[in-house]
């Protein structure tokens, strides 16, 4: 385990990446399984370690917003404005790619997803990687867990999920718990609508985004495929049941409960988390789902928050987790 507070460990992480290894890096959202985005073989290891289908695109994480134009063929002015406002931070923009960007990163599409994480140690590792390789500094970094499973928000979660799949040339960089707790907002420019479209909700809200017919942001045939958009995803072994804020809790034995602090815990249930608002809910959500599995609970009942900027992202992740359990 490497420590984000140790400068020598940041050098070590960059060297491992330059040598083709994978390193789980912390971000403000979740831990990502990073590899040098300019090296196809290293990118391929990410897919192998995660068990991720090869047609699923990846997000390229950059050290600085100034690097975006090395990866993007063009960036719509509105997306550039959003990036200037929210980078470093939990926003990903999807833009036309430069010709040299590998199809293995983009899932065979002509677009690439870019973001600058709000985690200084990780940005430093990415910058040092570029200095070592002499190439455009950037890492792919999908969530550091097996594909479709619960995302990690602490280094120990990474080891629990991927420890058996990491080798001597790989590592985990520990920076403690992730302060946001759910993946970044993904936004692309919708040419037909003449407006941005949110493809995955997160901590960043985009007030002028195109709404979907279903009333929540989502991809269509006119927009790119992006990470985290499968109907079933973010899934613990336990079955996830959603209950609305005004709904009655089901009659179950030994269920786990994730709900705001004002929701009482029924007798015999295990309280997995009692956050005070939507932001706190997002921060503890994945750890709560993991703790249900650790405690051997077969069912998790989740009451999503109804208000707050992160409420749509929490609902999105829980709906996908519930769909996986139902399937």
pLDDT exceeds 70 at position 326: no
How far the first Cα of the chain sits from its last, in Å, is 36
Whether the CB-CB separation of 186 and 37 falls below 8 Å is answered with no
Closest CA to 280 of 251, 256, 259, 254: 259
Please give the C-alpha separations between residue 182 and each of 20, 153, 242, in angstroms, as whole numbers: 27, 8, 18
pTM of the full predicted structure? 0.95
Q: d(Cα 64, Cα 88) in Å, to the nearest integer?
A: 8
Please tell me the chain's helix, strand, coil percentages from 3-state DSSP, rounded to the nearest 5. 30, 20, 50
- The secondary structure of 124-143 as a DSSP string is HHHHHHHHHHSS---EE--B
- The domain limits of the chain are 2-174, 239-326
Q: d(Cα 44, Cα 52) in Å, to the nearest integer?
A: 10
Q: d(Cα 113, Cα 188) in Å, to the nearest integer?
A: 9
Which pLDDT belongs to residue 324? 77
Which pLDDT belongs to residue 245? 84
pLDDT exceeds 50 at position 76: yes
Please give the C-alpha separations between residue 229 and each of 123, 218, 223, in angstroms, as whole numbers: 26, 8, 12
Region 257-273: mean pLDDT is 97
Q: Give the neighbor-by-neighbor strand order of the sheet with 239-242.
A: 239-242, 299-302, 256-258, 270-273
Cis ω for the linkage preceding 88 (within 30 of 0): yes
39-65 tens-digit pLDDT = 999 999 999 999 999 999 999 999 999
CA-based Rg of the chain, rounded to a whole angstrom? Answer: 19
CB burial readout 121-146, b (16+ within 10 A) else e: bbbbbbbbbbebeeebbbbbbbbbbe
**Mean pLDDT over the full length of the chain:** 94
pLDDT exceeds 60 at position 12: yes
Which pLDDT belongs to residue 327? 53
2-174 sits in which CATH class?
alpha beta
Percent over 70 (pLDDT), the chain:
95
Q: d(Cα 116, Cα 107) in Å, to the nearest integer?
A: 20
Q: d(Cα 93, Cα 107) in Å, to the nearest integer?
A: 16
Region 136-161: mean pLDDT is 97
Q: d(Cα 137, Cα 66) in Å, to the nearest integer?
A: 11
204-240 tens-digit pLDDT = 999 999 865 433 444 444 568 898 888 888 999 999 9
Residues 6+ apart with CB under 8 A from 261: 274, 275, 276
């Amino acid at each position: 385990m490497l420590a984000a507070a140790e400068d020598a460990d940041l050098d070590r992480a960059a060297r491992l990446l330059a040598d083709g290894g994978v390193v789980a890096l912390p971000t403000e959202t979740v831990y990502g399984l990073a590899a040098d985005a300019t090296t196809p073989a290293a990118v391929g290891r990410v897919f192998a370690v995660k068990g991720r289908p090869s047609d699923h695109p990846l997000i390229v994480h950059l050290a600085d917003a100034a690097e975006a134009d090395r990866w993007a063929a063009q960036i719509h002015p509105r997306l550039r404005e959003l990036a200037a406002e929210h980078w470093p931070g939990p926003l990903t923009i999807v833009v036309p790619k430069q010709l040299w960007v590998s199809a293995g990163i983009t899932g065979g599409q002509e677009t690439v997803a870019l973001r600058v994480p709000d985690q200084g140690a990780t940005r430093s590792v990415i910058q040092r990687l570029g200095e070592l390789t002499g190439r455009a500094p950037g890492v792919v970094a999908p969530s550091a867990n097996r594909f479709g499973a619960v995302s990690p928000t602490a280094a120990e979660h990474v080891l629990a999920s991927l420890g058996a799949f990491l080798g001597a040339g790989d590592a985990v960089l520990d920076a403690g718990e992730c302060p946001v707790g759910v993946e970044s907002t993904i936004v692309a420019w919708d040419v037909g609508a003449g407006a941005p479209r949110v493809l995955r909700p997160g901590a960043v809200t985009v007030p002028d985004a195109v709404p979907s017919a279903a009333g929540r942001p989502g991809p269509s045939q006119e927009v790119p495929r992006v990470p985290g958009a499968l109907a079933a995803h973010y899934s613990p072994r336990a079955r996830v049941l959603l209950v609305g804020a005004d709904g009655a809790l089901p009659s179950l034995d030994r269920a786990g409960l994730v709900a705001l602090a004002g929701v009482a815990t029924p007798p015999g249930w295990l309280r997995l988390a009692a956050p005070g608002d939507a932001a706190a809910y997002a921060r503890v959500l994945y750890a709560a789902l993991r703790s249900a599995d650790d405690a051997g609970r077969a069912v998790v009942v989740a009451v999503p928050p109804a208000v707050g900027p992160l409420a749509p992202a929490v609902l999105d992740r829980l709906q996908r987790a519930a769909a996986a359990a139902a399937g």
